[in-house]
Amino acid sequence: KAGVTQTPRYLIKTRGQQVTLSCSPISGHRSVSWYQQTPGQGLQFLFEYFSETQRNKGNFPGRFSGRQFSNSRSEMNVSTLELGDSALYLCASSPQPTSQPQHFGDGTRLSIL
């Protein structure tokens, strides 16, 4: 069974631009969560989606948004990029929100110039 797939793996943007990252969960998994990983703050929760609905949201500004499609694939969008948005963005999936544990993809490395 294929794991969580995140695209693209690497992305370079400039300040002020926007970006969309994609996540395809493990087949049959309907719960998707996003995390931001930086050297300074570690791993921080962004959002959780299930059945196309956002269930939980982390403490990030409104520039960070996400959505989930009917096939469980998810995207996250960051608008008006700032230098501090440079990070590894990780997606994790599980069959349902109450399923344990989450399984992670290898992330998208976003660099802001």
Give the residues lining the site for another protein (CB under 8 A). Answer: 4, 31-33, 35, 38-45, 48, 50, 55-56, 58, 90, 92, 94, 97-107
Rounded to the nearest whole angstrom, what is the least distance from the CB of residue 35 to another protein in the complex?
8
Rounded to the nearest whole angstrom, what is the least distance from the CB of residue 101 to another protein in the complex?
5
The one-letter amino acid code at 100 reads Q
Of 40 and 62, which CB lies nearer to another protein in the complex structure?
40
Asked if 89 and 110 touch (Cβ cutoff 8 Å), the reply is yes
Distance CA 45, CA 77 (A): 15
Of 17 and 41, which CB lies nearer to another protein in the complex structure?
41
Rounded to the nearest whole angstrom, what is the least distance from the CB of residue 16 to another protein in the complex?
27
- Which tokens in the block code for residue 58? 């982390």
Rounded to the nearest whole angstrom, what is the least distance from the CB of residue 100 to another protein in the complex?
5
Question: Read out DSSP for 29-87?
Answer: --EEEEEEEETTTEEEEEEEEETTEEEEE-S--TTEEEEE-TTS-EEEEE-S--GGG-E
Of 44 and 79, which CB lies nearer to another protein in the complex structure?
44
